[in-house]
Structure 1
Amino acid sequence: MSVQNVLDTIKEKNIEFVDFRFVDLSGKAHHITVPALSVGEDTFTNGVAFDGSSIPGFRGIEESDMVMMPDPEAIFVDEFTAHNTLNIMCNIFSPDGDRYDRDPRNIAQKAEEYLQSTGIGTSAFFAPESEFFIFDDVRFESGQNVSSYSVDSDEGIWNTGREEEGGNLGFKIRNKGGYVPVSPADTTQDLRSEICRVLEEAGLVIERHHHEVATAGQQEINFRFSTLVDTADNLMKYKYIVHNTAMKFGKTATFMPKPLFGDNGSGMHVHQSIFNGDTPLFYEKGAYANISELGMYYIGGILKHAPALIALTNPSTNSYKRLVPGYEAPVNLVFSKGNRSAAVRIPVAAVTPKGARIEFRTPDSTANPYLAFSAMLMAGLDGIKNKIDPRQEGYGPLDKNIYELSDVEKNEIRSVPANIEEAMDALEADYDFLIEGGVFTEEFIKHYISFKRDEAKEIAIRTHPHEFSLYYDC
């Protein structure tokens, strides 16, 4: 969409305000709102100034001036504002006109350019399955003398004995019993459908929605794949619309990977493929799972670099509460055509040549999508360039139930890092594949590692409530 088309949209839809947005290092959106009457062609030339020192992980106060440059291709009308508002995603620049190298969207755009420069293909396509919970109540606090959290859902299995107004009507979802039940067990169909309606208004193509495995309102909504940057933009819209639609219904949504102990967590399974023009590069009829050698090498790159990659795809301390055996968590660094506990799965059901793809199941939605998708692409491209064959490297295929293997067999399978510190150690030791073509910079990687280590320390130094259960009577 051209700048003129954006200005025409403002007039046609009676837009009163334009909301300029950007994404920080952690993947959180920020915004500055400008009256529509003040937005013209010069806005797209000069940008919108903001204070970079107030954004975590950006700049110090001595170099705080930064500029948002709006992208006319990335707009949607906001349904949650009282005044007609047009949201527009921006790229971040320094005042001297240079792209800011810590802007996640800049890194994603460089990743797309790097793919094209390799001659391997013209486009990388991504489709994340971003799971989330919808709760009726959430409470938490962390202070000097108190540390606690509580979440509640009318669907929660722990509420079978709760006294409710008019009596308890039952139909609570058991642990691991929440995969696609009909109502009245599934109480959230109308909410999901409304989310889908708003997503479609924002330009996403919805493929399906359903209740997920866990008790207490775990959900999944799938939207159609697109190119790397466009998919990252769409995921930012998706999270914004999920959060705000839930709030509109008097509920609260979270993409936190493991808000509940003892049941499945929420992942972000990322489907991905490479095309050269209109030609899919991951398909080879008759091969294992109909995946091409190029696709195999892509898998090899993902699995070889997985410990470092996970620092960007699973960047929270809570991520590793999900990545434990027993809850369908993809902790095993192997590939398979059917095993959902494998880190990489090759979908085979109802797959056409153009639908041939690989699915990296380990990531979760605490990831910054621009960084995570870029890192996955760079790992896969490294696998293609260096012909890393996952079959020869001992990554499978493994089409068995991993949980039923003997201890000897399990010990031969490499696993994901056990915590965020191990993931950061792995990234510190293996990031050359990320800085190829200047996509990521060494300075960015070192800054990111320091930023995340500081975040991890905030958890490590605080007393945990369960420690009272273990040690108070010592």
Structure 2
Amino acid sequence: MSTHPSVTILPGSYRANRPQKPDDVVDMIKQNDIGIVDLRFTDLPGLWQHFSVTLPEITHGLFSDGIGFDGSSIRGFQEIHESDMLLKPDPATAFIDPEREAATLAIICDVVDPVQHGAYSRDPRYVARKAEAYLKASGVADTCYFGPELEFFIFDSIRFEQNQHCGYYFVESAEGEWTSGRNEGAFGGGNLGYKSRYKEGYFPVPPHDTLQDIRSEIVFALMNAGIQVEIHHHEVATAGQNEIDMRFASLLRMADNVMIYKYMCKNVARRHGKVATFMPKPLFGDNASGMHCHQSLWNGDKNLFFDPNGYALTSELCRWYIGGLLKHAPALMAFCAPTTNSYKRLVPGYEAPVNLAMSQRNRSAAARIPMYSDSPNARRVEFRCPDPSANPYLAFAAMLMAGLDGIENHTPPGDPLDKNIYDLPPEEARKVQQVPGSLDESLQALERDHGFLLKGDVFTRDLIETWIDYKRTHEIDPVRLRPHPWEFQLYFDI
């Protein structure tokens, strides 16, 4: 396991008490012999960015006044003629980074526009903050809890290339079913076997599951960062699909946790000479990686989604929330399944939630009500369409806004479909609306349906227009314009 001079990753080291004020951060630095403070923030597509400062820079002024950076070099942010931006660290997010050799304290920051003298409208974290504020102002509830289930792959190697004269990707994994015939092993021959067959990777013990210890190291790293973890396990797909489940938290806090989660997974895997990816569908013919999002609304210690007499023990308010999710799902997909690759996942037959329906227990429905427990505290909706390529700040905020719109308008979720929707007769299946079939369709839906996001100025028209333009210019068009390898299989001899 990784160590640096002041931190050792050990079981049981979960720290629930986080700093709350700048003075707490200063004390944390002194007590742990910190030498570097790493300031982190999220670009518009959802990738962490950072730079590091030394101890003389850690003053109260850093927290109150911020520190400058070039916003024109960050995806989705400013143009070059308006590039000066500020970062203000949030002391409540500080954690000691167990993956760095030097003793490093990481702090998540908010982005500030120095000209407008306020929070930057395209800062994804600011959108999440506004969504939480809008919830409280609505009077519906005071807290929205999120519990995302992020799935990801750990491969031994990944190679890819696309240029004027070639295009390919090559995945290597000792767990892959396709490696059952190759020579391997300590003595240069034979095969070690125990490959997870396609769609049969769920819950096997070692030696099938070769990643148990790596996942445990990721768990300890997350706990050291103050994140409570509930379980971890191998997932359904061959070639090293995994899941680590964090305990639920409030919307903004959970979005922060997702960014820390991705960071730890990637860095622990790299330390072992492997690579972690949150790309939704890296393998053809096997299950993809989702980010099923469990959600509930609370007032104090009361779960507003529970009703002992309601369908699946849910309240009418819960069902209206689900109605909002389902009504706005095509537009939500622009933030919740925001890559061209996302729609390789959203196809029938791979536990993918392509059907916009509500159900209890049924994993073929977009909105599932888990029935593991009849406890009032456990009542929630699991929205299964999102995937881990999403920017969590934007995706969580968008889902909350859709749910609140459903509550405001008493939107019915439709009749429950408590059966395998994939096996419905054709005449019944045609009546079930499905998610969009491509990122371009989702962006078109967002263009038509985004009024619910603008309420309370949570999302701005500028952010939505910037998002749509970025996705079309930098993702959809580059994929659309390049020959696909399978087109050679189909058309070369035409």
Q: TM-score range by the shorter chain?
A: over 0.9
Mapped contact 1:346–1:358 kept (Cα < 8 A): yes
CA drift at 1:53: 0.4
Q: 3-state DSSP class of the match of 1:282?
A: coil
Partner of 1:425: 444
Mapped contact 2:143–2:298 kept (Cα < 8 A): yes
Partner of 1:298: 321
CA drift at 1:38: 2.2
Partner of 2:355: 332
Distance in structure 2 (CA, Å) of the matches to 1:438 and 1:57: 19
CA drift at 1:222: 0.2
Q: String of CA shifts for 1:227-249, please: whole Å, max 9, x gaps.
A: 00000000000000000000111
Q: 1:215 aligns with which of 234, 238, 249?
A: 238
Partner of 2:195: 172
Q: 3-state DSSP class of the match of 1:221?
A: strand
Distance in structure 1 (CA, Å) of the matches to 2:76 and 2:21: 32
Q: 3-state DSSP class of the match of 1:213?
A: coil
Q: String of CA shifts for 1:103-133, please: whole Å, max 9, x gaps.
A: 0000100000000000000000001000000
Where do residues 176-187 of structure 1 align in structure 2 (5 Å cutoff)? 176-187=199-210
Q: TM-score, normalised by structure 1?
A: 0.98
Q: 3-state DSSP class of the match of 2:331?
A: helix
Asked whether 1:466 is paired with 2:482, we answer no
Partner of 1:456: 476
Partner of 1:416: 435
Partner of 1:126: 146
Q: 3-state DSSP class of the match of 2:385?
A: coil
Partner of 2:31: 12
User: How many residues are matched?
Assistant: 470
Partner of 1:201: 224
Q: 2:330 aligns with which of 303, 307, 313?
A: 307
Distance in structure 2 (CA, Å) of the matches to 1:238 and 1:296: 30
**Which piece of structure 1 moves more, 106-115 or 342-351?**
342-351
Distance in structure 2 (CA, Å) of the matches to 1:192 and 1:356: 28
Where do residues 39-54 of structure 1 align in structure 2 (5 Å cutoff)? 39-54=58-73
CA drift at 1:351: 4.2
Mapped contact 2:66–2:86 kept (Cα < 8 A): yes
Partner of 1:345: 368
1:237 is aligned with what amino acid? I
Partner of 1:190: 213
Partner of 2:43: 24
Q: String of CA shifts for 1:33-58, please: whole Å, max 9, x gaps.
A: 00123211111122111100001111
The gaps in structure 1 that reach 5 residues or longer are none
CA drift at 1:286: 2.7
Q: 3-state DSSP class of the match of 2:452?
A: coil
2:21 is aligned with what amino acid? S
**Which piece of structure 1 moves more, 21-30 or 36-45?**
36-45
Mapped contact 2:36–2:103 kept (Cα < 8 A): yes
Q: 1:269 aligns with which of 257, 278, 292?
A: 292
Q: 1:282 aligns with which of 295, 298, 305?
A: 305
Mapped contact 2:151–2:241 kept (Cα < 8 A): yes
Mapped contact 1:16–1:37 kept (Cα < 8 A): no
Partner of 1:66: 85
Q: 1:251 aligns with which of 274, 285, 291?
A: 274
Matched residues, percent identical?
54
Q: 3-state DSSP class of the match of 2:39?
A: strand
CA drift at 1:271: 0.3
Distance in structure 2 (CA, Å) of the matches to 1:155 and 1:177: 12
Distance in structure 1 (CA, Å) of the matches to 2:210 and 2:100: 26
Q: TM-score, normalised by structure 2?
A: 0.94
Q: 3-state DSSP class of the match of 1:131?
A: strand
Q: 2:379 aligns with which of 356, 364, 375?
A: 356
CA RMSD of aligned residues (A): 0.8
2:62 is aligned with what amino acid? T
Q: 3-state DSSP class of the match of 1:435?
A: helix
CA drift at 1:390: 1.0
Partner of 1:111: 131
Distance in structure 2 (CA, Å) of the matches to 1:88 and 1:209: 26
Q: 3-state DSSP class of the match of 2:442?
A: helix
Partner of 1:316: 339
Distance in structure 1 (CA, Å) of the matches to 2:99 and 2:203: 29
Distance in structure 1 (CA, Å) of the matches to 2:338 and 2:374: 31
Distance in structure 2 (CA, Å) of the matches to 1:36 and 1:22: 19
Partner of 1:149: 169
Distance in structure 2 (CA, Å) of the matches to 1:190 and 1:442: 46
Asked whether 1:385 is paired with 2:379, we answer no
Distance in structure 2 (CA, Å) of the matches to 1:319 and 1:446: 20
Q: 3-state DSSP class of the match of 2:53?
A: strand
Mapped contact 1:46–1:69 kept (Cα < 8 A): yes
Mapped contact 2:88–2:110 kept (Cα < 8 A): yes
Q: 3-state DSSP class of the match of 1:359?
A: strand
1:402 is aligned with what amino acid? I
